[in-house]
Structure 1
Amino acid sequence: MRKSHVIILLTALTVALGGCAKRGEAPKLAHFKKTGNGPDEFTVLPTHPLQTPTSYNALPAPTPGGVNLVDQNPEADGIAALGGNAAALNSTSAAEANLINHARREGATPDIRQTLRTEDNDRRRRYGRVNIFRLGPIDDYTAAYKRQWLDADAEKQRLERRGIATPSAPPAE
């Protein structure tokens, strides 16, 4: 075959495979692969022991973000397991209220989560269309957001030039 026929054949094959993509779904950019025959540690949660209800008909309907009969307050359980004070979840100190007010001084967008979700889906969809020829294990999510990464060293130097102390930054090498 001539070189031009091979190029035309590869182009047609690429277009045909591109048509097989799922429409309407955000592309999965991070590729995690399970290796081995053991359990998937991210699906097995070490919570309180399971209980058999007295009546299966009396169980509440599942609600996303709602309480679980076994884990009534998983955030408090996690805080207590890490040595913290779980009661701190129920109180708001004056310092915390001041911090929240200071953070909201420029105004707050109430639907920021939905806005960010939409922007993230659009960005991943646009990036996924271009990323068809990469071979091998590549973390596409990282590549999609690489231009938005912050350069910690450059920021530290900028703050130091302005005379702002950076005590938690590691020392220069």
Structure 2
Amino acid sequence: MQTGRILLAMTCAAVLAGCAGGDTPQLMNIRSTSAGPDEFGILPPKPLEMPADLAQLPEPTLGGTNRSDPTPEADAIIALGGRPGAGAGLDAGLVNHVSRYGVAAGIRQTLAAEDLQWRRDNNGRVLERLFNVNVYYRAYADQQLDQHAELWRWRQRGARTPSAPPPKENE
């Protein structure tokens, strides 16, 4: 009888230890809670350039911008065919270009509902509800991209991959 109680106590302890909260991967939480630098907020400056006429240079202002300051929003608008600074509202040319194949109303809510249904159908959500276990990664495991295999595939086809680590000696 004493052995059964000890075995039951050890089993309960093991189950509770498995439920202990650890470091959860932050992939799904894109808001940083740390005081460290934001790697997406660091943008390299534009290259310096000499204007044809020095009279084109704006008058320097304290706390103002300069020609080498990065302007990612304006650069994206130009890349998509719009005009930066077209007014307080949205640039009509940009809106027309990005919505040329149609716009689905309520797309965020639709995707959230479809994602929830996908996870319910594929993982039951019992673990999430009863034991507060996140099954997000398990639900999408079949759709996960193997980054090393994909890198190898591109290298085999002769594509340059300068931002990826160099190939290993045995590859």
Q: Report the TM-score when normalising by structure 1.
A: 0.37
Bigger relative contact order, structure 1 or 2 (CA pairs below 8 A, ≥6 apart): 1
Q: TM-score, normalised by structure 2?
A: 0.38
- Structure showing greater radius of gyration is 2
